C-alpha cells in the first residue's frame, strides 16, 4: 500500500514539473512572437517616419585639441571646410567603386541596406571580444550613420540606422547610394569625399585613378591614420592586398590581373587645412592619432566631436627633452640627427618625446636602429633569471666562438678575468659573448629577455624582431646589438628594469572627451604585468648604477641623484667609423633613451671630425634631458637587490695587481691605430635615413680596423 502511494506521489511530482516546464515554454512561445511583433511595429513606424538625409546633412566638423598632461595645447586638428567636391557617379571610375565594395561591403550590389551575415559577425565579435570580426555596417549604413545628427553609441541609434538604411535601399538606386557615400566618406589627410582623396594621395583627378590607386584609397576608409602609407607602410600594404583580394572575390579582377599589380607611389601628406603642427609636436600628434584608432575612437569622431585629447606628455619633461636634443647639437655637423624618448616606469606613460624637428617628416624615435652594447643588459637579465649571479667570473681574452666567429674587445680592452658587473661597466664583448654561450637557450635567451622587458615583437616591415629575416633564427650578435630596435622600445624596456620587472605598455593618450563633456576614454591605473622578478631587475640596476659617472662624468645632479645606464655604439660596415650611438638609462621616476646618428646612415663624426661614441653626444643629451626633466623632483633611491645565486648586488672585486691596459679615452674622443677585429653581420638594406633592415643570406665576415669603442664607449672611457 505504502509503495503504491509513494509511486503515485513521485509521478504526481514529475507531472507537476513537466507542467511548469510546459507553462514556461508556452509563455516564451507567446512572448517571443510578441516581442518580434513589437519590434516589427517599432521598425515600421521608424521606417515610415524617417527621411533619408542627403550629403549636405552630414554633421558639422569641429576642431579637436591635443593637450599635455597639465592642459597646455600641443596641437590642433582643424577639419577642412569646403574641401569636399561632389562628383557624379559617371565621373568615378568603376575600379574605384569596386575597390570600395571590396573593402567595405562585398554584398553591396545585392543586399537590402543591411547584411544579416555582417550583423551576425559583428554580434559574435562583441560577444567574443574579437576586434577583427568587423562592425557589421554596410556601405548604406555607413552613409546613414555619418549623415545622422547625434551619433550616440546606443542600440536605439543602431535600430534607427537599420530602418533608414532599409528605406534608403528601397528608394534610392545603388548608383545614387554609392555616389552619396563616396562624396562624403572621410579618407584621411583632411580629405572628405573621393575627389578630395584623389588629390590628397595622388595629386590627380578622380577620373584618372587607376586600379592600384583605387585600392589605396579604399584601404584608408577603415582607419585613415592607421592605414596611411606615409606613417604605417606595412599595415597600408597589407590592407591594400586585402582590397585587391576582395576585388578578385567579387569578380572585378582576375587573379592574373591582381598578381601583376604593384603598390603605387603615394604623395607625401600635405595639410591643406592650414593646421600644420610644426616641430616635435607634429610627431606627437601623429602618434596620438594612431593610438586613438586602437582605442576605437574613429577618424569621424576626431573630425566631428570637438574632442579634447589629454596626453601623458609632461610639459617639464618635454621642454627638457627638446632643449637637450637641439641644444647639445648646436655647432655639430648639420647631418646629425637624434631622438629622445622618456617614459614613466610606473605607468608606461610617455612623458617626453622627440623624434625630430620636422613635424611632418620622418620620426627617428620610431625607426629600427642597431643598438650596440646597450643590448648587453638583456643578456644579464637572462643570466640572472637562470640563477647566474653578478659574481660569475669570465675571462676577457679574445676567443673563437662556435661557427668560427672571432670575438674581441674594442681597443684591446681587458680585465684579465672579472665578474659580470665589472664586465658590464667595461662593456667587454668577450665576457658577455661567453655568458650568452653559457645560457640555456644561448642567443634566443637574450632575445626572449629583451622581448620580456618590452622590446617590440614586430614593427613596421619587421614581422619578427631580434631574429634573421630569412627565418634562420637568432645569431650570437644579438648580445652586441646586431638587430634593430626603436628608441621608444629601448626606453620602455629599461623602464621595466626601473619598475623592478613590471612592464607597462608605452602610451600617449590619457583621456578623450567630446565637446559636451562626454568621456569616450579614460585610462585607468593598472598593476602592469610582471615580466621578471624584482630580484633580477634590481640586480641589473645595481650593475648599471656606476656606469653614468664612469662614462666621462655623466652622473645626474652632479652625482647626487642615483641612475642606472648603459651606452652603445655600432660600426659603419668595415669603414672604421660609427653610424649609431646610444645612451639609455633611468632613475626610479623616469627612463630615457637617446639615439644619435645621421640622416643618411653615413659616418657619425662631431664638429672636430672625431668619431662619436655613446659616451659623447648621446650621454650629453641624456644627462641634460634627465637633469632638466627631474629638476625639483625628489631624489629617489633604487631598492636593495635580493640575492641571486647567493649574491645581492655588485660583488666586491679586488683591484688588479697586474698592469692594466692603457685606456685611450678617459676624457676625450680621439683616433689612434687599434688592432683589427673580425665581425660578422647580416646583409642589410637602408629603408630610410639611418634605418636598415636585415636581408636574407649568410652573415658577411668583415675584418675591421676598429677605432676604440667600436661597440661601446665604456671600454675606453669615452
Q: Please give the model's pTM, rounded to 2 decimal places.
A: 0.74
Q: Identify the structural domains of the chain with CATH numbers, from first to last.
A: 55-60+80-272 (1.10.3810.10), 318-390+439-657 (3.40.710.10)
pLDDT of the residue at 49: 57
Determine which of 60-64, 353-357, 592-596, 664-668 has the lowest per-residue pLDDT on average: 664-668
pLDDT of the residue at 42: 54
Rounded to whole angstroms, how far apart are CA atoms 673 and 326? Answer: 33
Q: What is the largest CA-CA distance in the chain?
A: 115
Torsion angle, alpha carbons of 372, 377, 381, 383, to 10: 80
Residue 697 clears pLDDT 60, i.e. is over it = no
Catalytic annotation, pick one of 373, 374, 410, 615: 373
pLDDT of the residue at 300: 81
Q: β-pairing, 308-311 with 64-67? A: parallel
Rounded to whole angstroms, how far apart are CA atoms 570 and 413? Answer: 17
Cβ contact 479:473 at 8 Å: no
pLDDT digits (tens, 9 = 90+) for 273-318: 556 788 999 999 999 999 998 999 988 888 888 899 999 999 999 9
Tell me the pLDDT band of 350, cut-offs 50, 70 and 90: very high
Catalytic annotation, pick one of 69, 104, 161, 591: 104
Using alpha carbons, select from 374, 422, 414 the residue that is nearest to residue 395. 414
Confirm whether 373 is a catalytic residue: yes
Residue 272 clears pLDDT 80, i.e. is over it = no
Neighbours of 427 (CB within 10 A): 31
Give strand ranges (E) for 315-368: 336-343, 350-354
pLDDT digits (tens, 9 = 90+) for 602-641: 999 999 999 999 999 999 999 999 999 999 999 999 999 9
Q: What is the DSSP letter of 345?
A: T
Residue 15 clears pLDDT 60, i.e. is over it = no
C-alpha cell at 391: 659574481
- Which bin fits 481, alpha (ψ -120 to 50), beta or left (φ > 0)? left
pLDDT digits (tens, 9 = 90+) for 651-661: 876 554 433 33
Confirm whether 659 is a catalytic residue: no
C-alpha cell at 392: 660569475
Contacts of 271 (CB under 8 A, 6+ apart): 189, 190, 360
Determine which of 23-27, 188-192, 210-214, 569-573 has the lowest per-residue pLDDT on average: 23-27
Name the more confident of 675 and 518.
Answer: 518
Q: Which residues pair with 583 in a beta bridge?
A: 567, 594
Amino acid at each position: 500500500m505504502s509503495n503504491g502511494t509513494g509511486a503515485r506521489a513521485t509521478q504526481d511530482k514529475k507531472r507537476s514539473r513537466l507542467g511548469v516546464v510546459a507553462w514556461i515554454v508556452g509563455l516564451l512561445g507567446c512572448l517571443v512572437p510578441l516581442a518580434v511583433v513589437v519590434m516589427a511595429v517599432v521598425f515600421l513606424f521608424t521606417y515610415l517616419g524617417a527621411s533619408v538625409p542627403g550629403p549636405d546633412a552630414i554633421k558639422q566638423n569641429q576642431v579637436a585639441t591635443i593637450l599635455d598632461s597639465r592642459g597646455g595645447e600641443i596641437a590642433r586638428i582643424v577639419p577642412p571646410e569646403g574641401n569636399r567636391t561632389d562628383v557624379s557617379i559617371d565621373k568615378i571610375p568603376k575600379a574605384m567603386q569596386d575597390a570600395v565594395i571590396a573593402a567595405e561591403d562585398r554584398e553591396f550590389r545585392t543586399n537590402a541596406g543591411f547584411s544579416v551575415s555582417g550583423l551576425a559577425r559583428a554580434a559574435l565579435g562583441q560577444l567574443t571580444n574579437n576586434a577583427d570580426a568587423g562592425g557589421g555596417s554596410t556601405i548604406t549604413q555607413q552613409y546613414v550613420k555619418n549623415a545622422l545628427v547625434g551619433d550616440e553609441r546606443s542600440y536605439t541609434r543602431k535600430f534607427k540606422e537599420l530602418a533608414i538604411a532599409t528605406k534608403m535601399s528601397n528608394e534610392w538606386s545603388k548608383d545614387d547610394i554609392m555616389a552619396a557615400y563616396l562624396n562624403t566618406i572621410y579618407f584621411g589627410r583632411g580629405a572628405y569625399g573621393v575627389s578630395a582623396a584623389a588629390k590628397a594621395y595622388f595629386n590627380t583627378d578622380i577620373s584618372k585613378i587607376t586600379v592600384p590607386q583605387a585600392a589605396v584609397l579604399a584601404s584608408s576608409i577603415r582607419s585613415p591614420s592607421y592605414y596611411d602609407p606615409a606613417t604605417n607602410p606595412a599595415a597600408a600594404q597589407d590592407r591594400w592586398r586585402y582590397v585587391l583580394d576582395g576585388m578578385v572575390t567579387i569578380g572585378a579582377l582576375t587573379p592574373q590581373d591582381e598578381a601583376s599589380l604593384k603598390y603605387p607611389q603615394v604623395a607625401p601628406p600635405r595639410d591643406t587645412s592650414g593646421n600644420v603642427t610644426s616641430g616635435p609636436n607634429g610627431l606627437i600628434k601623429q602618434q596620438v592619432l594612431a593610438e586613438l584608432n586602437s582605442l576605437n575612437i574613429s577618424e569621424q569622431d576626431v573630425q566631428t566631436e570637438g574632442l579634447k585629447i589629454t596626453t601623458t606628455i609632461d610639459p617639464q619633461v618635454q621642454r627638457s627633452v627638446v632643449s637637450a636634443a637641439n641644444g647639445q647639437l648646436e655647432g655639430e655637423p648639420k647631418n646629425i640627427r637624434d631622438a629622445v624618448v622618456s617614459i614613466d616606469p610606473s605607468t608606461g606613460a610617455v612623458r617626453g618625446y622627440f623624434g625630430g624637428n620636422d613635424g611632418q617628416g620622418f620620426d627617428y624615435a620610431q625607426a629600427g636602429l642597431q643598438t650596440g652594447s646597450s643590448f648587453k643588459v638583456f643578456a644579464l637579465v637572462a643570466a640572472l633569471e637562470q640563477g647566474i649571479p653578478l659574481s660569475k667570473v669570465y675571462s676577457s681574452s679574445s676567443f673563437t666562438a662556435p661557427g668560427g666567429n672571432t670575438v674581441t674587445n674594442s681597443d684591446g680592452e681587458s680585465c684579465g678575468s672579472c665578474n659580470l658587473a665589472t664586465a658590464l661597466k667595461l662593456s667587454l664583448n668577450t665576457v658577455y659573448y661567453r655568458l650568452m654561450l653559457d645560457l640555456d637557450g644561448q642567443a634566443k635567451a637574450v632575445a626572449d629577455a629583451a622581448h620580456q622587458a618590452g622590446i617590440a615583437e614586430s614593427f613596421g616591415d619587421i614581422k619578427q624582431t631580434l631574429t634573421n629575416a630569412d627565418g634562420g633564427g637568432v645569431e650570437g650578435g644579438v648580445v652586441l646589438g646586431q638587430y634593430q630596435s626603436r628608441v621608444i622600445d629601448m626606453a620602455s624596456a629599461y623602464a621595466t628594469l626601473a619598475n623592478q620587472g613590471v612592464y607597462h605598455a608605452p602610451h600617449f593618450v590619457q583621456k578623450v572627451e567630446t565637446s559636451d563633456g562626454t568621456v569616450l576614454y579614460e585610462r585607468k591605473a593598472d598593476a602592469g604585468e610582471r615580466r621578471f622578478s624584482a630580484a633580477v631587475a634590481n640586480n641589473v640596476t645595481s650593475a648599471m648604477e656606476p656606469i653614468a659617472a664612469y662614462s666621462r662624468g655623466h652622473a645626474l645632479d652632479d652625482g647626487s641623484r642615483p641612475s642606472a645606464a648603459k651606452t652603445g655604439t655600432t660600426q659603419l660596415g668595415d669603414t672604421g667609423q660609427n653610424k649609431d650611438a646610444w645612451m639609455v638609462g633611468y632613475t626610479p621616476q623616469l627612463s630615457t633613451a637617446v639615439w644619435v646618428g645621421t640622416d643618411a646612415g653615413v659616418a657619425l663624426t662631431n664638429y672636430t671630425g672625431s668619431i662619436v661614441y655613446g659616451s659623447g653626444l648621446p650621454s650629453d643629451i641624456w644627462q641634460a634631458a634627465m637633469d632638466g626633466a627631474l629638476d625639483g623632483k625628489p631624489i629617489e633611491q633604487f631598492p636593495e637587490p635580493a640575492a641571486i645565486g647567493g649574491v645581492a648586488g655588485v660583488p666586491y672585486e679586488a683591484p688588479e695587481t697586474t698592469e692594466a691596459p692603457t685606456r685611450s679615452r678617459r676624457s676625450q674622443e680621439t683616433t689612434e691605430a687599434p688592432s683589427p677585429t673580425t665581425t660578422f653581420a647580416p646583409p642589410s638594406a637602408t629603408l630610410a635615413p639611418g634605418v636598415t633592415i636585415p636581408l636574407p643570406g649568410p652573415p658577411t665576415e668583415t675584418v675591421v680596423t676598429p677605432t676604440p669603442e667600436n661597440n661601446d664607449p665604456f671600454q675606453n672611457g669615452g
